[in-house]
Amino acid sequence: QDEFMADKYDVIVATSAFGMGVDKPNVRFVFHFDVPHSIDAYYQEIGRAGRDGERADAILFYRPEDLGIHKFFAGGSRIDEDNVKGFIEALEQTDDPEEIREATGLSKAKIARLLARARESGSIEDLAAEEARLHEAELDRIEHIRAYAELLDCRREYLLRWFGEEPEFPRCEFCDNCERTAIQPAPPPQPALRQPLHSEAPEPDPYPARTRVVHGELGRGVVKSAEGDKVIVLFDDAGEKTLSLRFVTEHNLLQKAS
């Protein structure tokens, strides 16, 4: 790390913990081989790049199945209500962590966590509810990094909104999605074709791909595709959903985002 900081090495391959120690102004790129467990972690880690104000690239190599490891660890760290009850019963007999571990079979880390929370919670129900809330929050963080990786709209806008900031412009015109959907020059005009009498113009697609939309219950999202009576939307919070085009149109459930 010292030699990298002194510009003797151009590239380092590191864990996220190692990378967090890098405070170097001229890092030109951060490539993620593994997807982080949350938007917060990803934002901190890509923040190593471009501190001198010059161009820097952040690239995430992503497959949906890569999130499995984070879901596995989230499940392994969960303490369910039965565990909490067993812990409370053992705590009534002793406050020695080793004796509690032998009585409950819980790991030292889980016992330490429960001991700390037990001092703040007023009852078994409160302690169990807090553990359930934390588990759901961890799964929610994993779902949001998935939504970011699969996003078809401006990535900078998504990151800013995640941290509660309103973007000054709706698109950054710099991320891969903005570059991919950049407005192309209009083609030269073509001679108008004669239309047969009594022809009817096709109805316009109400939800073109990459359109930002808002659903009353599912929140904000982006249209992935619309075909027949189905419209597929990747929602920021609820993930990917397949909706009936006829139903959402009749009940005015899906609005184009401003």
More confident residue, 18 or 158: 158
Instruction: Return the half-sphere exposure (C-beta side, CA atoms, 13 A cut-off) of residue 166.
Output: 1
Measured distance CA(155)–CA(56) in Å, rounded? 15
Instruction: Please report which confidence band the pLDDT of residue 105 belongs to, taking 50, 70 and 90 as the band edges.
Output: confident
Nearest CA-CA partner of 87 in 51, 36, 131: 131
At 199 the pLDDT is 47
| Residues 109 and 100 sit within 8 Å (Cβ to Cβ) | no
Q: Of the ranges 17-31, 108-122, 187-201, 243-257, which one carries the lowest mean pLDDT score?
A: 187-201
Averaged pLDDT, 242-246: 81
pTM listed for this prediction: 0.59
Structure tokens at 16: 């996220």
Model confidence pLDDT, tens digit, residues 52-80: 999 999 999 998 888 888 877 776 666 77
Model confidence pLDDT, tens digit, residues 162-198: 888 888 888 888 999 998 877 555 556 655 554 444 5
More confident residue, 62 or 81: 62
Instruction: Please report which confidence band the pLDDT of residue 123 belongs to, taking 50, 70 and 90 as the band edges.
Output: low
What does the buried/exposed string (b/e) look like for 112-148 if buried means 16 or more CB atoms within 10 Å of the residue's CB? ebbeebbeebeeeeebbeebeebbeebeebbbbbbbb
At 76 the pLDDT is 63
